[in-house]
Amino acid sequence: MQILLAATVVVPLLGAVAALLPAPPGLKGHHPDQAVLRHGVTVTGLVLALTIALAIGFDRAHPARMQGTTDISWIPALGIRIHLGIDGVSLPLLVLTALLTFLCALYSYFKMPEGPSPKAFVALILVLEAGTLASFAVLDLVLFFLAFETVLIPMYFLIARWGGEDRERAAWRFILYTLLGSVVMLLGLLLIGVKGGTFDMVALATDNGSGLSHSTQLIAVLAIGTGLAVKAPMWPLHSWLPDAHTAAPTVGSVLLAGVLLKMGTYGFVRILLPIAPDGVHTFAPYLAAFAVVGIIYGSLACLALARSGGKGDLKRLIAYSSVGHMGFVLLGIATLTPTGINGALFANIAHGLITGLLFFLVGAIKDRHGTSDLDTLSGATGAALYGRAPRLGGLLAFAAVASLGLPGLAGFWGEMLAMLGSFRPADGLSRPAYLTFMALAGFGTLLTAAYMLVVIRRVCMGGNGSQDTGLAVHPGASGTAVADVRTYELAAWTPLVALTVLAGLWPAALLGLTDPAVQQLLGGN
Amino acid sequence: MGSLVQSVDWLAIAPPTVTAAVALVVLVADLFVPEHRKPLLGGIAIGGLVLAGLSLLPLLDGDRSTFCLTSGTRACSYTADHFTLVVQFLVLGGALLTALLSVSDITDSRLPSGEYWFLLLSSAAGAALLPAARDLATLVVALEVASLPAFALVGLRRGDRRSSEAALKFFLSSVTATAVMLLGVSFVYASTDTLHLTQVADALTQVDPRLDVLAQAGVALTLVGFAFKTAAVPFHFWVPDTYVGAPLPIAAYLSVVGKAVGFTGLILVTVVAFPAYADVWGPVLAVLAALTMTVGNAAALRQRPDRAHSAVRLLAWSSVGQAGYLLVPIAAAAYADDPGHAIGSTVAYALMYAAVNLGAFAVAGLVARTSPANRIADYRGLYARRPLAALALGFFLLCLAGLPPGVIGLFAKVTVFSAAVDAGLGWLAVVMAVNVVIALYYYLQWTAALFRPAEETAEAAAGEKHARVPLPLATAMTLAAVLGIALSGAPQLVLRFASGALL
């Protein structure tokens, strides 16, 4: 277990270095580019296998206990230790990260985004994976910060080098926003470290904030919360997200939405809740309020983009929908109840699966039509994907319906539990306020359903199968048949579809893991 | 009364002495070496610096003192404790890297090599003496030995108007600062009746109330001299012009060794000699630190990439900003119960800064060989032309910015932050955080430019590709990069100075 977990973090890093070296003879393949892309698939596949082995070896009877721990002193001068470990909260995120990165590597093997050499591309993806996995696996505040920062540089280059239109500005905005947040976060982490006497998350969590004065907790929560909220992203700190998603290459968007955003919400659950409970208690209603505004705002923005003539970009639309979905996650956390937080963690995973799938699909549509502009795409009546590429259309409809929270699919449980949590928030939190939040969040789900259905209506339906549907006016969306789902695409997407259904039908598999861990983080036992 | 003759521990004083002796050897050898054999002098100088560095090894116990009074308090003027050794290592290592940078520059810009090496080694000898000095007179002498050759080095580019102007500016402002500092030292001497730092510290706790104002003024004026060397605001205005006017290796030298000199002096006078007046210099240094980093970073932010010499200008201003971070732990030492602990952060940060800043200057020197204007715009697409140099520069810049993979830069900043938070200087930590973000902006912009596709024509790129990298320059770059990477993997190597008491 111990070695497995350490290897999970180290293997992608080594893989990144290896990707930059020339391929050894015998593994060269037809073309050096192909060799390095295959290298990426191999390494991410290996990491996925490692995480699955971790999941199998995980002692499900005690998901609240840290497992597979490594604890080595690294910088005694600062009391920083290489402390790794997983529990029921981090294990699903670890597997999700490994899965999505593997699928991205697989997808790029067949469909490399346009840009400079694939060598750097693969290396960056692997560094990104290492950073993300590390931030879910480390149990030291400073290491968490280090891992949190590690992902920035690769993501910046992925957007700025392999992205679409206006990529440099978007990448720049992404990195500046996140850095601003994370410097503030570093101050908060140091404050906790200095006042609490250790950077060890487990030791600090066991104290449950008893060693920190109320004012220290307030400042720490404000500082760390700001950094995490930028990443999550919480309204009004979200404005980097739509640009970054629109400009990023498909796999960049998938990873950004699928795993990078989760680092923010994970930090809330892992660091703030157990270490500074008093501070969180004070700020929870504000967090909930911002979260609900985010839900409504994200949905309204999507509606505006989805309507006819709104010049909406599909990628941008899904990015805004992420703001809404992450709003549910934050609302769940802000209830400070086991129900709400379990819901938040569930919604985290569900969002990773569904939005990852959506970005894949939209990327595929963009590749086929040369645009992701909704108006150009749908023309006068609709893009008629059902007719022209039935499987692609069907998958898009499936993902959209999953995203709007249809019961029986993954999107439902997280949001339902988050709202249930705010129906009965933790003691000391104003119940009327939370009831209002719940009502508004419920309204948000309606709006989500509205824009998702509009998108299905405009992209999947329309036309009548004949040529003269108005599509001919738009060269990018000619009325002729569109290539349907290819084999490699199917291979990359099927796991996501299957897991979405599985998580929807059998939520207990996930909740059984998270619940005991959440109970412990909240200091329940 | 015992004998007045002091015994001299030659081993203890070896590092500065070896450097000075080799400086004289080079000067004399210059008379006899024919013109075409001049590169030999560089070899002697580099060998001398290595030798001086090796002479630190027998001193590692850190318990030697010499030039002690033979009676009374037995205070010593020269102490080779751990603090001294670390700073001497920094100074000699910095001088060594500078020397490696200089080798090709001397032949390219036809600098007079005998004078150049003599001046560089003399300055290094002064800088190596300074951390060991434990009385005010030795301190001032060491400071001047370190500075005077630097003026000449800055103005060494004959016939270059900018170079002479830079030297004059540097000289005049430095001399003014020295004069002010001497005045301060004499005030301190007048009110305490001693020059030894430890005795000054004792005497300052019981100053005659009538002399209290004099002592305070003395403390404040002494600080001015060192504040100038560290290029703290408002004594920073000489920096950009001097760096641009000086030969590039000398700019690198000033930014690292020159600063180290200032900081060491500042640490010695504040923490060792003037702890009694911590309530005077503590707030002053805290404000200076805040001003320095803000002014430096704001000015660096405003550098336009297409202006001539913008790369060196940016490095110059950013070094002013970095000086601000270095001041933070010294200011914190005024408030901390254990000042030795706080200043360890400064030393750790300075070591990190020395390695990566010299590395950045080395790459700048490489680029200057093909694009003499040295604009930041010239770095566009460096990755396509010289992948290794571009990766190295990117790494150095990220270290300076404090972002992974420059792990050591990040942790050095963390120690400085925690020194400030520890001392209760929360506002300073916040000011520093804002500054770190400003600095991230321009460092990242430069880093991003390295990997952008170049806009120039293919022939120019091809021409540069074929230009060979001189071996000494490559060695300097590799040394700095290896140091940076090793420290990023094992930050404990320098950060342990931040946890143990050095003084």
Q: How far apart are CA A348 and CA A358, in angstroms?
A: 15
Q: Do A187 and B429 make contact, defined as CB atoms within 8 angstroms?
A: yes
For chain B, the residue count is: 503
Q: Do A75 and B411 make contact, defined as CB atoms within 8 angstroms?
A: yes
pLDDT greater at residue B121 or residue A34: B121
- Residue A231 CA from chain centroid, whole number: 10
Which of B345, B437, B497, B502 best tests the A interface by mutation, with the highest count of A CBs <10 A? B437
Structure tokens at B496: 């342990």
Residue of B nearest to A182 (CA): B437
- Going by C-alpha positions, the residue among B131, B138, B167 that lies closest to residue B347 is B131
Among the partner residues A153, A183, A193, nearest to B437 by beta-carbon distance:
A183
Q: How far apart are CA A61 and CA A63, in angstroms?
A: 6
pLDDT at A370: 80
Contact A288, A434 (CB under 8 A): yes
| Boundaries of every domain in chain A | 277-525
pLDDT at A478: 45
pLDDT above 90: residue A292:
yes
Smallest Cα distance from B101 to chain A, Å: 29
Among the partner residues B398, B405, B417, nearest to A187 by beta-carbon distance:
B417
pLDDT at B3: 63
3 state DSSP class of B73? coil
Q: How far apart are CA B21 and CA B49, in angstroms?
A: 11
pLDDT at A39: 86
- Vertex A456 angle, CA A453 and A460, to 5°: 160
For chain A, the residue count is: 525
**Strand A80-86 relative to strand A67-75: parallel, antiparallel, unpaired?**
antiparallel
Residues 6+ apart with CB under 8 A from A119: A19, A20, A32, A33, A36
Which of A17, A190, A212 best tests the B interface by mutation, with the highest count of B CBs <10 A? A190
Chain B residues near residue A153 by CB distance under 8 angstroms: 398, 403-405
Contact A521, A205 (CB under 8 A): yes
Q: Which secondary structure element, helix H or strand E, spans residue A85, and what is its range?
A: strand A80-86
What is the mean predicted confidence (pLDDT) over A140-155?
89
Q: How far apart are CA A297 and CA A303, in angstroms?
A: 10
What is the phi/psi pair of residue B135, to 5°?
-135, 160
CB atoms within 10 A of CB A115: 16
Q: Which pLDDT band holds residue A468 (cuts at 50, 70, 90)?
A: very low
Q: How far apart are CA B236 and CA B228, in angstroms?
A: 7
Contact with chain B for residue A179, Cβ under 8 A: yes
Is omega for the bond preceding B240 within 30 degrees of 0, making it cis?
A: no
From residue A203, alpha-carbon distances to A66, A145, B22, B491 in Å are 12, 17, 56, 23
The half-sphere exposure of A456 on its side-chain side, counting CA atoms within 13 A, is 18
Reading chain B (503 residues) residue by residue, the pLDDT tens digits are 456 677 788 888 899 999 999 999 999 998 888 888 888 888 999 999 999 999 998 888 878 888 888 777 778 889 888 889 999 999 999 999 999 999 888 888 788 888 899 999 999 999 999 999 998 999 999 999 998 999 888 888 777 777 888 888 888 888 888 899 999 999 999 988 888 888 888 888 888 888 888 988 888 888 887 887 778 878 788 888 888 888 889 999 999 998 888 889 999 988 888 888 888 888 989 999 999 999 999 999 888 888 888 888 899 899 999 999 999 999 998 888 777 778 888 899 999 999 999 999 999 988 888 887 888 888 888 888 888 888 899 999 999 988 888 888 888 988 898 888 888 888 998 899 889 988 988 898 888 888 887 765 544 555 555 567 888 889 999 999 999 999 888 888 888 887 766 66
Q: Which chain B residues have any C-beta within 8 angstroms of a chain A C-beta?
A: 348, 398, 403-405, 407, 410-411, 414-415, 417-418, 421-422, 429-430, 433, 436-437, 440-441, 444, 448, 451, 453, 491-492, 495-499
Residues 6+ apart with CB under 8 A from A495: A99, A103
Q: Do B414 and A156 make contact, defined as CB atoms within 8 angstroms?
A: no
pLDDT at B456: 58
Describe the crossing of helices B426-451 and B407-422 by its angle, rounded to 10 degrees: 170
Contact with chain B for residue A191, Cβ under 8 A: yes
pLDDT at B25: 93
pLDDT greater at residue A399 or residue A21: A399
Is omega for the bond preceding B405 within 30 degrees of 0, making it cis?
A: yes
| pLDDT, tens digit, 9 for 90 and up, residues A476-515 | 444 556 777 888 888 888 999 999 999 889 988 888 888 8
Chain B residues near residue A192 by CB distance under 8 angstroms: none
Q: How far apart are CA B488 and CA B482, in angstroms?
A: 10
pLDDT at A467: 45
pLDDT at A26: 62
Smallest Cα distance from A80 to chain B, Å: 10
**Strand B76-80 relative to strand B64-68: parallel, antiparallel, unpaired?**
antiparallel
Q: How far apart are CA B245 and CA B167, in angstroms?
A: 8
Q: How far apart are CA A148 and CA B343, in angstroms?
A: 29
Chain B residues near residue A179 by CB distance under 8 angstroms: 403, 437, 440
Query: Between residues 447 and 466 of chain A, which touch chain B (CB distance below 8 Å)?
Result: none
pLDDT at A473: 42
Contact B284, B333 (CB under 8 A): no
- Residue B432 CA from chain centroid, whole number: 20
What is the mean predicted confidence (pLDDT) over A140-161?
89
Q: Do B433 and A193 make contact, defined as CB atoms within 8 angstroms?
A: no
pLDDT at A28: 62
Contact B108, B170 (CB under 8 A): no
3 state DSSP class of B158? coil
From residue A455, alpha-carbon distances to A378, A399, A451, A470, B432 in Å are 10, 11, 6, 18, 47
Q: How far apart are CA B373 and CA B370, in angstroms?
A: 9
**A257-271, A460-474, B8-22: least confident range:** A460-474
Q: How far apart are CA B196 and CA B70, in angstroms?
A: 14
Q: Do A149 and B422 make contact, defined as CB atoms within 8 angstroms?
A: no
